[in-house]
Structure 1
Amino acid sequence: MFALIAALFFLVALIFDIAGTAVGNVLTSGTLTTAGLLCVALHLLGVGAGWSPLKR
């Protein structure tokens, strides 16, 4: 799930970068790239994977 969110963040960041626009001072292509990298890191860490410990 976090990989999909990261892909969407990267897509919006790419569109912002190509268009040369930003939404205010907070939502820029750099901010979206950082958010995307955070989601990729969480995905690689296994957060949200839905695993559970083995039950005996």
Structure 2
Amino acid sequence: MLAIVAAVIFGLALIFDLTDLSLGEVFDGGTLLTAGLLCVALHLAGVGAGARGRSFNWRRTRSR
């Protein structure tokens, strides 16, 4: 899920960069790029996939 969010954020950052658009002082291409990298790092660290993986392992061990 975080990888999809990161892809959307990277897409917005690219559009902002190509059009030289910025939403005030806070949200520009660099800020969105940093947010996208944070989402990718969290995805690679395994954040957001824990609950689904544990329930699958529980069902598999119970069926033996």
Which ranges of structure 2 fall in alignment gaps of 5 or more residues? Answer: none
1:52 Cα offset (Å): 1.6
> Unpaired segments of 5 or more residues in structure 1?
none
Q: How many residues align?
A: 56
Structure showing greater Rg: 2
Tell me by how many angstroms 1:51 deviates.
2.1
> What is aligned with 1:40?
40
Deviation string 1:6-27 (CA, Å, 9 cap, x unpaired) is 0000000000000001000110
State TM-score, norm by structure 2. 0.79
* Higher-helix-fraction structure: 2
What is the TM-score normalised by the length of structure 1?
0.90
4+ runs deviating over 2 angstroms:
53-56
Structure of higher RCO (CA pairs closer than 8 Å, 6+ residues apart):
1
Q: Percent identity?
A: 54
1:9 corresponds to which residue?
9
Once superposed, what is the RMSD of the aligned Cα atoms? 1.4
